Structure 1
Amino acid sequence: MSDSSSERIAQRLREWVSNAPSGAQLPSTRALVAEYEASPVTVQKALQSLIGQGLVETRPGVGTFVRSIRVARPHDYGWQTAALGSPQNRMPHASAALRATPNDVIALHSGYPDRELLPERLVRAALTRAARGDAVMSKTPAAGLPELQAWFASELGAHTPTGLTPPTASDVVILPGSQSGLSTLFRTLVGAGRPMLIESPSYWGAILAAAQVGVQLVPIPSGPHGPDPDEIDRAFAQTGARAFYAQPNFANPNGAQWSPDLADSILRIVRERGAFLIEDDWAHDFGITTTAAPLAARDDSGHVVYLRSLTKSVSPAIRVAGLIARGPAHDRILADTQSQAMYVSGVLQTAALDVVTQPAWRTHVKSLRQQLAARRDLLVDSLREHAPTAHLESVPAGGLNLWLQLPDETVLVRFARECEVSGVILAAGDDWFPAEPTGRYLRLNYSGPNPGAFPEAAHIIGQVLARH
């Protein structure tokens, strides 16, 4: 029989299904062949047509049935209100930087570099090799692969001045990304209900991690060149805090990089106060006109606890970070990470080590400088041309973001919504303030996709600003 014959049979079966109750079983294929005097192939084609339309469903070894109709009904989860009780801490909402976006918009909000800025060939090859090795069936040590520990230690050791003791592999703990590392550090070095100094603005993920742990944040104003040491010293004295979370290199969101003199002043204060400096070196591989100079390299007395992630520079799928701490703090941190995650996937650790020890990795990082510089400068020039009423206090020497200040009368939520309607997704700056925002800001990622659309995005931003 022809396809037209199978369609006629399908039509008759549709009529049968429309009159049958939900869940009714259809006659067997043999019975349908006899009833319609058709070949098994023709009957099967007719049944496949009905399956594709969602009218019937097959149950292997049982038969074919009229598809059950699930009636929509409201769910009652009210009982959970009493079971859960009131939350101890109100969690900040996840930042707009995590939003997925359709392909037909200009995305300036993301916290991650575009795929074309990542070493994709190295990552694919490394994962393939890791999958062939013992890592796929092995449990790794709690502190991490010794070779990867040694790599993180040597990277920081390369910046250590003569006369100071560089870190060793035993000082390193491998973590499943820096976000879990922040929670561990805030829990072990600070503790619930206790104060911790933090730059303002600062990384929204650190603000979220502090809220989850129950740490009380003490904001320290920080501009394009970093915080004021006198403000830090005063805050330590007034609050009794014993830790300060900071990003001395290419801070997220404002791109600030501490000068050597500022770094020395803050390190001196931390030592005098008997406190920890939690250094988040998130953008170590994203220097443009300068290179990241970790503050931890200037300290061998255990005051600086250092965190560096490979997730943004290698691949979002390689959630691996290294944490360097010395003394009893290291032991507490390791115990906490063991209780939270036991160990980090050996496959991911092996792949990460493979990527960063390839000669092509150094070549990639060097070329990344040029690509980031071109993207940054294009967005800066576009904003200056099309959105002159917005203020860019400084052009960052590294990192992934511009920190753009809008006029004070701007209604930020409405502004971001109007930009999105016009095809540009932005990250409103309020998420990066641990207390009330001190102005109307946008964090614009110049490492995102489609940099050729930056002039168009700036034009839209300027148009919406003009309406406000």
Structure 2
Amino acid sequence: RALAAALARAARRPGAWRRAPTAGLAPLRALFARQAGGSVTADDVLVTGGGQGALSMLFRAIVAPGGPVLMESPTYPGALAAARAAGLRPLPVPTDADGIRPDLLADAFAMTGARLLYCQPTFHNPTGTVLAPGRRDQVVEVAKAAGAFLVEDDFARHLGHGGPLPPPLVSGDRDGTVIHLTSLTKPASPSLRIGAVIARGPVMRRLWGMRFVDDFFTARPLQEAAVELLSTPAWERHLRTLSAALRERCALLAACLARDLPHWTLTRHPTGGLHLWVRLPDGVQDTTLADAARAHGVAVDAGARYFPAEPSGPFLRLSFAAAPGPADLAEATRRLAALPPSPS
């Protein structure tokens, strides 16, 4: 309802259907800059049509075809697909319970000569990890020392389950090392294809050049609607409601897994995001199990596709956000528990 009202108001604005500025509407850029914090200004913001297209544009803008790009292992499959489509070579950097390891990241930069790291420091997809406070500055410093850029995918900034959030990495960066990527799609609607890239210097100039080749500008009515939505008290109310609903669903699915599938290992109980990351017993084939689950009406993601290289074991990603209601999550775990054993 809030989106419908925002779009209706936006459509009545003078000039709503005219060409938008190449970088995006000034009020929307200011809103994204304020969200990022630190010394970020509206001039550092480029409005994009969602996050996925922006990610593809960033990979093409920064790394030449055939070049390496470092990624957390596991990572977001859309990033792997975008990198490979750009002709790049995704290379894994190990993670642990506190996120990407700065010591191994430094080794990876030294051994590969990579000039780009893609990471998700807050509510990482698929694990839900938040990069530990003591590592956040370290990771940026390692990238800076390597003469590399760090793409911070902050897609889950509005998907916390309650409690304080660490500031974006870009908020403390004064050297242009961090390139920040965010989107309204996940917290608002799949069809609100509005996101933003925050970058400085040569990277922003290159993105401007690519914008003139790719799409000229992002649809103005959607930008106007985003300004309307983010500028009203309804947005903050929605985020509070969303946070409570995600927290409830996350706890419910975790409890159902403990009850119905105690031999599966929940790697962590996330404090934000949309998913649980579960390790399966040794010998279970994740892709076979995922296919069997779908045949019984339960959609799960096999973990193998989340790894830039060889998987470290059999995993599943379970989403608790898209189910029609909490009762469906309980039914899903009952169906998963009833599946026949998956062959190795």
Is the structural similarity TM-score above 0.5? yes
Distance in structure 1 (CA, Å) of the matches to 2:244 and 2:120: 23
1:415 aligns with 2:303: no
Counterpart in the other structure of 2:155: 282
Counterpart in the other structure of 2:279: 405
SS of the residue 2:335 aligns to: helix
Distance 1:148 1:385, change over 3 A: same
Q: Which of 212, 224, 244 is the aligned partner of 1:350?
A: 224
Counterpart in the other structure of 1:255: 128
Counterpart in the other structure of 2:214: 340
Counterpart in the other structure of 1:167: 40
Counterpart in the other structure of 1:366: 240
Please tell me whether the aligned partners of residues 135 and 346 of structure 1 are also in contact (alpha carbons under 8 angstroms): no
Letter in structure 2 aligned against 1:288: H
Distance in structure 2 (CA, Å) of the matches to 1:135 and 1:422: 50
Distance in structure 1 (CA, Å) of the matches to 2:17 and 2:231: 23
Counterpart in the other structure of 1:454: 329
Please tell me whether the aligned partners of residues 131 and 347 of structure 1 are also in contact (alpha carbons under 8 angstroms): yes
Q: Deviations 1:287-314 (Å, cap 9, x if unpaired)?
A: 1144252111110210000000011111
Letter in structure 2 aligned against 1:124: A
In structure 1, the gaps of 5 or more residues are: 1-120, 161-165
Cα deviation for residue 244 of structure 1 reads 0.3
Q: Which of 234, 253, 256 is the aligned partner of 1:382?
A: 256
Q: TM-score, normalised by structure 1?
A: 0.71
Cα deviation for residue 172 of structure 1 reads 0.4
Please tell me whether the aligned partners of residues 115 and 147 of structure 2 are also in contact (alpha carbons under 8 angstroms): yes
Cα deviation for residue 422 of structure 1 reads 2.2
Q: TM-score, normalised by structure 2?
A: 0.96
1:155 aligns with 2:28: no
Please tell me whether the aligned partners of residues 188 and 332 of structure 1 are also in contact (alpha carbons under 8 angstroms): yes
In structure 2, the gaps of 5 or more residues are: none
Cα deviation for residue 184 of structure 1 reads 1.1
SS of the residue 1:245 aligns to: strand
Counterpart in the other structure of 1:234: 107
Letter in structure 2 aligned against 1:376: C
Higher RCO (C-alpha under 8 Å, 6+ residues apart): 2
Distance in structure 2 (CA, Å) of the matches to 1:336 and 1:246: 23
Distance 1:212 1:135, change over 3 A: farther
Distance in structure 2 (CA, Å) of the matches to 1:135 and 1:443: 44
% same residue = 39
Distance in structure 2 (CA, Å) of the matches to 1:465 and 1:249: 36
Counterpart in the other structure of 1:180: 53
Distance 1:377 1:239, change over 3 A: same
Distance in structure 2 (CA, Å) of the matches to 1:285 and 1:297: 16
Cα deviation for residue 467 of structure 1 reads 6.2
Q: Superposition pairs for residues 67-466 of structure 1, below 5 Å?
A: 121-157=1-37, 160=38, 166-290=39-163, 291-448=165-322, 449-464=324-339, 466=341
Please tell me whether the aligned partners of residues 128 and 275 of structure 2 are also in contact (alpha carbons under 8 angstroms): yes
Distance in structure 1 (CA, Å) of the matches to 2:297 and 2:40: 48
Distance in structure 2 (CA, Å) of the matches to 1:369 and 1:128: 26
Q: Deviations 1:99-121 (Å, cap 9, x if unpaired)?
A: xxxxxxxxxxxxxxxxxxxxxx1
Distance in structure 2 (CA, Å) of the matches to 1:243 and 1:137: 37
Letter in structure 1 aligned against 2:223: Q
Please tell me whether the aligned partners of residues 135 and 347 of structure 1 are also in contact (alpha carbons under 8 angstroms): no
Q: Deviations 1:361-390 (Å, cap 9, x if unpaired)?
A: 112112222111100000000001100111
Distance in structure 2 (CA, Å) of the matches to 1:467 and 1:247: 32
SS of the residue 1:424 aligns to: coil
RMSD over equivalenced CA pairs, Å: 1.4
Please tell me whether the aligned partners of residues 304 and 315 of structure 2 are also in contact (alpha carbons under 8 angstroms): yes
Q: Deviations 1:10-44 (Å, cap 9, x if unpaired)?
A: xxxxxxxxxxxxxxxxxxxxxxxxxxxxxxxxxxx
Cα deviation for residue 436 of structure 1 reads 2.0
Distance 1:129 1:176, change over 3 A: same
Please tell me whether the aligned partners of residues 392 and 404 of structure 1 are also in contact (alpha carbons under 8 angstroms): yes
Distance in structure 1 (CA, Å) of the matches to 2:330 and 2:121: 31
Distance 1:137 1:360, change over 3 A: closer
Letter in structure 2 aligned against 1:189: I
Cα deviation for residue 198 of structure 1 reads 0.5
Please tell me whether the aligned partners of residues 387 and 462 of structure 1 are also in contact (alpha carbons under 8 angstroms): yes
Distance 1:381 1:270, change over 3 A: same
Distance in structure 2 (CA, Å) of the matches to 1:328 and 1:191: 15
